[in-house]
Amino acid sequence: MKYDKIDNALYIDNRKRFISRLKPKSLAVFYSNDIYPISADSAMPFQQHRDILHLSGVDQEESILVIFPDAADEKDREILFLTETSDLIAVWYGKKLNKEEAYEVSGIKSVYWLDEFDTIMKRLMSQAENVYLNSNEHLRANTEVETREVRFNEKLKRQYPLHNYDRSAPIMHYIRSIKNPIELELMQHACDITEKGFRRLLSFIKPGVWEYEIEAELLHEFI
């Protein structure tokens, strides 16, 4: 894992706060980021979209979160779609979350593979009146590259042009500005580690010390 396991109560609470600000009969969709290529056979390290991470804790590519609190079937009210994995797939493409692990991370019981997304969305969209789509709304946002989020948003609007579409970003900005106690504890833990790292350097740095040695001291404290 990239980091210690985080209590999924954080993500459950974040979703509850998001849901509390939706209009009736509303469905919201959140997508993971793309993996961006560097050359024909290499790519940049994956960085998850901060909003789907904030609501689910799922930190892997090709993930989709659907929130539909007014769905007729209770199991359709929170759904995760993940890229399919197995022991064999893990050997060739690396470890991914299976359905049980996704539930443990997110607290979401309904987990499906991506190939079921279109079929399930067709059923859900027949019940929904409003659809909340996410986007990178920020005063300093200047993205020239078309993101996975933009592509999927446009695809959904083409498939279902008669629904009412709304913005998730204002809601996400609001709920992310108010920190859950679990999140505050995690932030404090990160601050404590950072402080220890810099205090370690204060007693180590002197003339003749190289940058790689400073990096090694920080890594020793951080890891």
Q: What is the pLDDT of residues 169-207, one digit of tens each?
A: 999 999 999 999 999 999 999 999 999 999 999 999 999
How far from 112 is each of 78, 88, 119, 154, 212, CA to CA, in Å? 11, 19, 11, 23, 45
Single out the residue of 25, 3, 17 nearest to residue 72, CA to CA: 25
Strands 26-31 and 64-67: antiparallel
The predicted pLDDT at position 46 comes to 83
Does residue 96 surpass a pLDDT of 80? yes
> Whole-model pTM?
0.88
| pLDDT classification of 38: cutoffs 50, 70, 90 | confident
For residues 209-223, average pLDDT: 93
Residues composing the chain: 223
| pLDDT classification of 45: cutoffs 50, 70, 90 | confident
The predicted pLDDT at position 2 comes to 66
The predicted pLDDT at position 120 comes to 97
Window from 76-80, 141-145, 182-186 with minimum mean pLDDT: 141-145
* More confidently predicted of 89 and 108: 108
Single out the residue of 104, 55, 50, 108 nearest to residue 81, CA to CA: 108
Does residue 16 surpass a pLDDT of 80? yes
Each as own residue / partner, the long-range contacts of residues 18-22 (CB below 8 Å, 24 or more positions apart, any chain) are 18/55, 18/67, 18/168, 18/171, 18/172, 18/175, 19/67, 19/69, 21/171, 21/174, 21/175, 22/67, 22/69, 22/130, 22/132, 22/171
For residues 211-221, average pLDDT: 94
Percent of the chain with pLDDT over 70: 99
Q: How far is C-alpha 120 from the geometric centre of its chain's CA atoms?
A: 21
